[in-house]
Amino acid sequence: MKVLLLSAYDAASHRAWRAQLTAYLPEIDWHQLVLPARYFNWRIRGNSLSWAYENRDVFEQDYDLLLATDMVDLNGLRGFVPQLGSIPTIVYFHENQFAYPLSDAMQAERFLEPKIVNLYSALSADKLVFNSHYNRDSFVDGVTSFLNNMPDHVPPDLVEGILEKSTVIAVPIAEEYFQPVIPRNDPPVLLWNHRWEYDKAPERLYALLEKLCEKNTAFKINIIGPHFRRQPDVFSRIEQDFSDYIIHFGYLDTHEEYLSVLHQSDYVLSTAIHDFQGLALIEAIASGCIPIVPNRLYYPDYIPSTYCYESYLDDIEQEATAMAGLLSRLFATSEHSEIDVSRFKMENLKPQYMNIFKKIMK
């Protein structure tokens, strides 16, 4: 089986997904094209133009399957390279632009193009695979709302067609994350290991740390994760105001160091207002951390309610109080339920991927 894999905005989670697929499916003859995760608005609309004229020789080969991420402008690429239209095609949705929350600095009009790319690619593909039910459902809801806002000439049954060819298969977690649990630290060590962007709501992390300090709670924290040229200003305030509590702050230089920090932490926090699967969270849970998450997004699908605090999207202070209260209750007990995330191992997901690949080529 010869597969062309296209990743148009190759962020960390996309790279991890590619690495797992190619490592665990060596029987496939993989051919990959990737573009770096920068200049988002240019990239999501311009990838078809770049590839069609820079990599024509790659596209003119024979393939059994085309596997593209949701950032690929599949419709535009097929227009530039018509022979791609005859190859069975799957679009894998790591995220969808309909459910991406806009910051105050963003304008809704600017984000029409990414939604159009997502929608047209979904309609062009033979099969759609989402990394979570939340991702699929929010995409369908977003498309429905989008089409309802079209003033006229709205084609019928588009949403039904999308649902019929959609399925859910998670992004796998590498085996190296699954580590035996070590004795808990005293004081407890918290972990916040997400992208340093506004959709991970770092201002909610600041509010939590304030609450813990007000209650004289003993703790330490690792605040790590990838960040970009621009990042929310609140991170500098966190570093300054809570320096006495911070062990690691910023991006870790090596993967080995990242694994070590995960394994040596006790509780992993999420304050996110946007997360389609939560790879960073699952990595930490597999490494032995106890999750502390809001009861929103995809989290309740795999995290027991015992570890979910009440969500208050419109009230940061109230949510911080709920999170701090949950942490205090968990700090007071040594009894914690084991959270099994082995379903995210590639060895358990491999049959699902192979089945979908073979089925589409029949």
Both structure tokens of 132: 């979570």
Please check the confidence at residue 135 and state whether its pLDDT lies above 70. yes
Both structure tokens of 226: 């990838």
Confidence (pLDDT) at 180? 85
Please check the confidence at residue 74 and state whether its pLDDT lies above 80. yes
Cα-Cα-Cα-Cα torsion 327, 328, 333, 334, nearest 10 degrees, comes to 40
Assess contact for 308 and 295: CB atoms under 8 A.
Answer: yes
| Residue 184 to residue 336: CA distance in whole angstroms | 11
Proportion of the chain above pLDDT 90, given as a percent: 89
Confidence (pLDDT) at 112? 84
| Residue 70 to residue 336: CA distance in whole angstroms | 37
Q: Is the peptide bond before 187 cis (omega within 30 degrees of 0)?
A: yes
Confidence (pLDDT) at 345? 95
More confident residue, 245 or 362: 245
Q: Find which of 110-119, 210-219, 333-342 is predicted with most confidence, using mean pLDDT.
A: 210-219
Beta-sheet strand order (sheet of 166-168): 29-34, 2-7, 65-69, 89-93, 127-130, 166-168
Assess contact for 321 and 211: CB atoms under 8 A.
Answer: yes
Q: Is 153 exposed, middle or buried (0-12, 13-18, 19+ CB in 10 A)?
A: exposed
Closest by Cα among 304, 300, 267, 309 to 284: 267
Task: Sketch the domain layout of the chain as residue ranges.
Answer: 2-172+346-360, 175-342
Please check the confidence at residue 108 and state whether its pLDDT lies above 70. no
Residue 106 CA, chain-centre distance (Å), reads 20
Contacts with 251 (C-beta within 8 Å, 6 or more apart), sequence order: 224, 225, 226, 227
Please check the confidence at residue 56 and state whether its pLDDT lies above 90. yes
Q: Domain 175-342: which CATH class?
A: alpha beta
Assess contact for 95 and 278: CB atoms under 8 A.
Answer: no
Q: Classify residue 153 as left (phi > 0), alpha (psi -120 to 50) or beta.
A: left
Q: Note the CATH architecture for domain 2-172+346-360.
A: 3-Layer(aba) Sandwich (3.40)
Query: Hey, do 2-172+346-360 and 175-342 end up sharing a CATH topology, with the first three levels equal?
Result: yes
pLDDT band at 291 (very low <50, low <70, confident <90, very high): very high
Confidence (pLDDT) at 181? 82
Q: Where are the alpha helices (DSSP H) in 86-129?
A: 112-124
Please check the confidence at residue 319 and state whether its pLDDT lies above 80. yes
CB atoms within 10 A of CB 104: 5
Confidence (pLDDT) at 106? 53
Q: Classify residue 288 as left (phi > 0), alpha (psi -120 to 50) or beta.
A: left
Q: Is the peptide bond before 226 cis (omega within 30 degrees of 0)?
A: no
Please check the confidence at residue 304 and state whether its pLDDT lies above 90. yes
* Number of helical H runs and strand E runs in the chain: 13, 12
Hunting for tokens 């062309």 — which residue is that?
4
Q: Classify residue 209 as left (phi > 0), alpha (psi -120 to 50) or beta.
A: alpha
Please check the confidence at residue 105 and state whether its pLDDT lies above 80. no
pLDDT tens digits, one per residue of 197-230: 999 999 999 999 999 999 999 999 999 998 877 8
**Residue type, position 248, single letter:** H
More confident residue, 334 or 192: 192
Contacts with 213 (C-beta within 8 Å, 6 or more apart), sequence order: 242, 245
Closest by Cα among 113, 65, 116 to 91: 65
pLDDT tens digits, one per residue of 165-198: 999 999 999 999 998 888 889 999 999 999 999 9
Confidence (pLDDT) at 107? 52
